[in-house]
Amino acid sequence: MVNYNKKLFRLRYSSDSVFDAAVHILVVLILLTVLYPLYFVIIASISEPDAVNSGRVLFFPVTPGIHGYKYILNDNRIWLGYRNTILYTICGTLVGLITTLPGAYALSRRDLRGGGIIMKVLVFTMYFQGGIIPTYMLIRNLGLINTPYVMMIIGSFTVFNLIIARTYFRENIPEELLEAAVIDGCGTFKFFYSVVLPVSQAIIGVIALYYTVGHWNSFFPALLYLYNQKLYPLQLILRDILLGTQALATSGSDVDNLRELTRIAESIKYSIIIVSSLPVLVAYPFLQRYFVKGVMIGSIKG
């Protein structure tokens, strides 16, 4: 009997070891699959464009150089785009927090009359929206066309973020806490700003991060509503730089100059991705825990 138990233990131990090894191998393969495209963009941005086009760039850069970065950074519009994007991101994130957090807390209160109907209407807008033309007409009638305010407002409120914040407040702010505050003479607004917000730093960080990333990557609203290049965000300026380089490459008359512009245009494609994504990539390791918290909070819609 003792020998049988020992054999059974060894069998289970070996099975667990095989399973753990398989899981680790699978996780490593998934990690490589996710990270390799980013790594390829980095090495392609500093490699010889001809080597990239011929498929010789796989794991290491070939004939390293920074021609694409020099071309982009020598354009003064790039710094204007950074300034505009930073301004739109900061102001848009603040607007998003100001509108989302109070609304989420109000909808988390079970004694709110009509709260269920309001949530159903808001969820309806997640699946059925007005469309590009009605939205453009609305923005035009509000006088926001070709103004920086349209970039601060568009995308500053999403129902998804509202649901995440509402779930957090409902699960973590007990009604007894409000009742105790009311007994002490604290009103609803004072309770929200003095009690709820200080103990909700996690959800504030999550919502702020989601809005920040959304505004930083915002491209389509600028393409629709902005005509003045001085108001262009970084994404739109990088697009114009790339299109301008490609246009020069296809319209040049000098063969040598045409070939050089074509090579630069190919290199700029990858350099633009790095220039536009670098701030987010640098900040991500420090903000990763907020992404994880957002996923965990958003997984419960009670």
Looking at residue 302, what is its pLDDT?
45
Gap between the Cα atoms of 276 and 242, Å rounded: 13
For 230-256, write each residue's pLDDT tens digit: 888 888 877 777 676 655 555 555 555
Gap between the Cα atoms of 218 and 213, Å rounded: 8
Return the closest-CA partner of residue 150 out of 49, 224, 82: 224
Q: Is the dihedral of CA 91, 93, 97, 99 positive or negative?
A: positive
For 203-212, write each residue's pLDDT tens digit: 888 888 888 8
Looking at residue 246, what is its pLDDT?
59
Place of tokens 């970065």: 69
Looking at residue 301, what is its pLDDT?
47
Return the closest-CA partner of residue 165 out of 212, 69, 97: 97
Return the closest-CA partner of residue 275 out of 36, 85, 121: 85
How does the average pLDDT of the chain come out, rounded?
Answer: 76
Residue type, position 20, single letter: D
Gap between the Cα atoms of 99 and 153, Å rounded: 11
For 268-298, write each residue's pLDDT tens digit: 777 777 777 777 777 777 766 666 665 565 4
Residues of the chain with pLDDT under 50: 2, 4, 9, 298, 300-302
